[in-house]
Structure 1
Amino acid sequence: MLVLLSTINSVPLGIAHIAIFGAGSIAGMAAMSTLIGLPLAKTKTALSACR
């Protein structure tokens, strides 16, 4: 990210790049957390049905 920012000559474009990168990082982490959490939630539901 820092290598790319050094090639951008416009401050607003640099700030936009940082904002888009940050939003993408947050969205990616939320998606991965959801993908990891879904099997755990289904296991909890299945185990509670067995009782």
Structure 2
Amino acid sequence: MAIHAGDWWLGTRCRFTDIDLFFDSERGSHGDKMRRERAARTFCSRCHVQ
């Protein structure tokens, strides 16, 4: 898949993902926030657009 400079987001895994995975509110404990961050990093690590 050839991705042009302005179209990079077309190939992302997160394009149709709930944004709360990346930008959740300040609710929850520190542990909850750490788990969400770990889940987001894992999700992004599987994307070929990095």
Same-fold status (TM-score > 0.5): no
Question: Which category of TM-score, normalised to the shorter sequence, fits these structures?
Answer: 0.3 to 0.5
Q: TM-score, normalised by structure 1?
A: 0.43
Higher relative contact order, structure no. (Cα contacts within 8 Å, ≥ 6 residues apart): 2
Query: Which structure has the larger Rg over C-alpha atoms?
Result: 1
Q: What TM-score, normalized to structure 2? A: 0.44
Q: Which has the higher helix share?
A: 1
